[in-house]
Amino acid sequence: MTNPTYNLVDESWIPCVMCNDATTRLLSIRAALNLAPEIVEIDDPSPLVTAALYRLLLAILHRCYGPADAKEWRTLWSRRRFDEQVNTYLDQWKHRFDLFDPEYPFYQVHDIPVQYAKPIAQLAPELASGNNATLWDHTTHMSALAFTPEQAARYLIALQAFALGGLVSHRQDEKEHKSATGAPLAGSAVALVRGPTLWATLMLNLHRYDGQEEPFPTQTDDMPAWERNTATRPVARELTGYLDLLTWQSRQVQLYPEDNPPVVRHVAIMKGNQFPEVGYRHGKETMLAFRRNTEAKGEQDPWPAVAFREERDIWRDSLVLFQSLHNQRSRPRMLDWLALLVERGVLDDVQMALDLFGLGSDQAKPLFWRHERLPLPLKYLNEELLLEQVRISLQWAEQGKDMLNQGLRQLAERSIVPYRSLDGVSKDDRDRAKAIVKGWGAERQYWAHLDLPFRHFLEALPADYDPAGQLYGSRVMPQWTRVVRQAAHESFDEVAQGLDLTGRWLRAVALVEPAFMSRLRTVGIPEQAAVDGIAL
């Protein structure tokens, strides 16, 4: 029986939304790059797959074009499509893109004995398998699950980019390799600048790559994973460069195809290449934002990446996404590159979007995934006055949250001790009040009220400029203040209206609400007094 074959260069497996009719079509690597101006975006149900596919295409483009500097990038931008150089490269390396090649299977190894095979569900974090609990999927018969080659390819690429650290399978004589560190994008919110077409998106995320110093010092043998002749092994090794990072093989993986046409029911996943040091991503990864952890000790990362948190919306991290601050935070380096292109007049400072992809986890247990989109007017990249107004607006939002929580704590405390001064509330009663407030879930509602208005605020602020006073926000900043106050007021009211209509609660609301509303009217006033031209 001949070995099955499935070559990703020309087989259709990448989900692409087309410009002409908004339908989703599966396209090959070759077709996706050749038709990139006619495609809106890559869109897989899994945000992890979507992000990983973009990085795969970017690695191919970097190998073809560089670009070494802004001049080369401008030349590519002016062409409005990718040329025959892409096809030439794909023809040259097509033999390394076969998913089931007996010697060089794409993104895999070929020598893991079948005794280590597990159900294919292990390839997908949203599916339950082995000792993992069922997450947001309720598939039950894992042993019967079969992936088509295109499904297996998409999940394989996502696994190499997003695999969580923790225990992994290992060969019987390799017990020292029973655990592995996370993949390059694990525990992070991956930022992708989005243009109107796939071609524009790929270009906007095509960082300067000169094979020497940019985007970070590169060895002469830097190359994507499929060009390497050495198999992935469970060893720590240094990055050779940006192409190595984009296609890093964090796991040894082997797919075991069956039937004709082939399907995949089993996979082996073991420890792959490991980074030799903690904190390797900062200064190298172009799609992640970082905050400095000044209290990091031992194996803790001194520069952890900004990540999705279940209780926190990503727009609240807009400042660290848009602005670097020396020795405190770093925005994605891709935005530094675009800022340079805007500054040099290569790129207009128009409205774009920033897509964010990631997986939320607890230790090695995946909990949720997200794909969020923020407005990104490119004027933010070089205009500190704009970013200062974003800082102030986020500060006001936090101020509103604090006032809401203070009012609700007083409401809960007043219900517990209705006829005594709150100054004398015991610690036990305060703890009871905090538990009551947490159960109301008002803070989550507060942030939900602000979500869409903040996105509109980000879009409107760059155009709200007073050249005479050299000031941004004379119109939209007061509007935002009112939005924050209204969100806090509505969140308080939603709690109050859901309370029992008993004398105890009615009295508590009557006593607490006037003082809460009075404090709420002060949101933004201290900052606004220092900003000329803004009146409430």
Is 90 exceeded by the pLDDT of residue 508? no
Q: Which residue has the higher pLDDT, 128 or 465?
A: 465
CA distances from 409 to 219, 403, 516 (A): 58, 10, 11
Q: Where are the alpha helices (DSSP H) in 424-502?
A: 427-440, 442-460, 476-497
- Annotated domain spans of the chain: 14-380, 383-528
Q: Mean pLDDT for the chain?
A: 92
Calculated CA dihedral for residues 184, 186, 189, 192, nearest 10 degrees: 40
DSSP H or E segment with residue 26: strand 24-27
* pLDDT reported for residue 529: 41
Tokens of 170: 């290992």
C-alpha span between 305 and 225 (Å, rounded): 24
Contact present, 517 and 511 (Cβ < 8 Å): no
Mean pLDDT score, 19-24: 97
- The partner residues of 18 in beta bridges, in order of sequence, read 39
**How does residue 142 score in pLDDT terms, banded at 50, 70 and 90?**
low
User: How many CB atoms sit inside 10 A of residue 535's CB?
Assistant: 6
Smallest CA-to-CA distance from 186 within 106, 276, 248, 120 is with 248
Distance CA 394, CA 316 (A): 7
- Mean pLDDT over 242-246 rounds to 98
For the chain, what's the residue count? Answer: 536
Q: How confident is the model at residue 141 (pLDDT cuts 50, 70, 90)?
A: low
* Cross-strand pairs, 269: 253
Burial class (CB in 10 A: 0-12, 13-18, 19+), 3: exposed
Q: Which carries the bigger pLDDT value, residue 365 or residue 75? A: 75
391-414 pLDDT, tens digit per residue, is 999 999 999 999 999 999 999 988
Half-sphere exposure of 40 (CA within 13 A, CB side): 12
What is the sign of the dihedral through the CA atoms of 332, 337, 343 and 348? negative
| Burial tier of 336 (Cβ tally within 10 Å: 0-12, 13-18, 19+) | middle
**Percent of the chain with pLDDT strictly greater than 70:** 93
User: Residues 170-189: pLDDT tens digits?
Assistant: 999 999 999 999 999 999 99
Query: Looking at residue 392, what is its pLDDT?
Result: 97
Residue 423, amino acid = D
> What are the tens digits of pLDDT across the range 333-360?
999 999 999 999 999 999 999 999 999 9
31-73 pLDDT, tens digit each? 999 999 999 999 999 999 999 999 999 999 999 999 999 999 9
Predicted pLDDT at 528: 46
For residue 205, which amino acid is it?
N
370-396: pLDDT as tens digits: 999 999 999 999 999 999 999 999 999
For residue 495, name the pLDDT band (cuts at 50, 70, 90): very high
pLDDT confidence of 526, banded at 50, 70, 90?
low
User: Domain 383-528 has what CATH class?
Assistant: mainly alpha
Specify the higher pLDDT residue, 420 or 472: 472
Least confident of 136-150, 276-290, 421-435, 484-498: 136-150
Read off the pLDDT of each residue in 148-172 and give the average, rounded to a whole number.
97
| Gap between the Cα atoms of 433 and 418, Å rounded | 13
Determine the Cα–Cα distance for residues 18 and 471; give it in Å rounded to an integer.
41
